[in-house]
Amino acid sequence: MQTNVIFSITESARRRIVLVTKQYEEKIQKDAIPAISWLDSDWNPGLTLDSQPIIGFYHDRSEIEGEIRIIDGLEVVLAIPDNQNTRFHGKSLDYQNGRFLLR
């Protein structure tokens, strides 16, 4: 996972991440740490989505303590392999029209 990648999170993306995290925590009755990663449609034959950033969750803080970052006031983990750091570096994570985007 990448700790040296610099990126920002727009207010729209931040609100969406906070919302889905709260919904997920209510469903599982545990705290969760949002994880930002990349869904690559080329690696998922039959997937009807375009490649895009996605949000997942970690439950055990002790497993990822060194990976947790605060970006634009939001505690997150950037869960990407080394070969994908250029997708995020210097970009902004945004949320528009029902999906996350990098700009």
Phi, psi of 26 (to 5 degrees): -65, -40
**Structural domains of the chain, ranges and CATH numbers in brackets:** 8-93 (2.60.300)
Among 98, 96, 97, 93, smallest CA distance to 34 is for 93
Which run of H or of E encompasses 18? helix 11-28
Q: What is the pLDDT of residues 24-79, one digit of tens each?
A: 999 999 999 999 998 776 555 665 556 789 999 999 999 999 999 999 999 999 99
The pLDDT value given to residue 4: 77
Q: Which residues contact 47 (CB under 8 A, 6 or more apart)?
A: 39, 41
pTM, entire model: 0.86
